[in-house]
């Protein structure tokens, strides 16, 4: 193998690792009038599910009503891409906190489940609606869960 080819392969591997590392874990944040974090992370390998609770909190002291939700779910090391667009009615009073249980799943034939150690679900949720004065509001929540919820410690 030539030195140039070896250098090219090593560079590609390092670039790929850097790209994956940059994905990182993201379990909390703020978007528009919403602060959010995840809790109760649970991986059930036999069922092919990764569940958690998304906690939303209104931060600006204004009532909000979200009327539309778009979710995109995907994971590194698994060919799963799920997208959901739906009309909703999610009301938040000033500073109210709401807990939403969510589950990422993949299919596992009986007795032949995927190796789940490398699965790190990512979830993008876009909420749109209005505040009590009729002003439009948006929140984008980008969640990047850890591959192993048992060893994860909140930062």
Which CATH number characterizes residue 45's domain? 2.60.40.1470
Residue 11 forms part of a structural domain: no
* Residue 17 predicted with pLDDT over 50: no
Range of the domain at 113: 27-144
What is the average pLDDT across 51-65? Answer: 96
State whether the Cα torsion 155-137-83-105 is positive or negative. Answer: positive
Q: Is residue 18 part of a domain?
A: no
Taking 90 as the threshold, does the pLDDT of residue 77 lie above it?
A: no
- Residue 41 in domain: yes
Looking at residue 8, its pLDDT comes to: 37
140 belongs to a structural domain: yes
Separation CA 26–CA 70 (nearest Å): 19
Is residue 62's pLDDT more than 90? yes
Residue 146's alpha-carbon distances to 8, 67, 91, in angstroms, are: 30, 30, 29
Is 52 inside a domain boundary?
Answer: yes
- pLDDT of residue 120 exceeding 60, the answer is yes
Is residue 55 in some structural domain? Answer: yes
Considering its fold, how many domains does the chain have in total?
1
Q: State the average pLDDT for the chain.
A: 80
Closest C-alpha among 72, 41, 70, 45 to residue 54: 41
Q: What is the mean pLDDT of residues 74-89?
A: 79
**4 vs 144, which has greater pLDDT?**
144
């Amino acid at each position: 193998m030539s030195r140039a080819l070896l250098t090219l392969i090593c560079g590609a591997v390092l670039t790929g690792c850097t790209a994956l590392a940059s994905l990182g874990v993201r379990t909390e944040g703020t978007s528009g009038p919403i602060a959010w974090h995840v809790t109760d992370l649970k991986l059930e390998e036999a069922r092919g599910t990764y569940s958690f609770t998304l906690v939303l909190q209104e931060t600006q002291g204004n009532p909000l009503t979200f009327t539309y939700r778009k979710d995109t779910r995907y994971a590194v090391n698994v060919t799963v891409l799920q997208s959901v667009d739906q009309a909703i009615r999610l009301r938040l009073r000033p500073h109210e906190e709401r807990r939403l249980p969510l589950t990422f799943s993949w299919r596992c034939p009986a007795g032949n489940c995927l190796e789940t150690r490398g699965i790190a679900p990512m979830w993008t949720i876009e909420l749109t609606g209005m505040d009590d004065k009729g002003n439009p509001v948006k929140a984008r929540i980008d969640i990047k869960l850890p591959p192993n919820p048992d060893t994860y410690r909140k930062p």
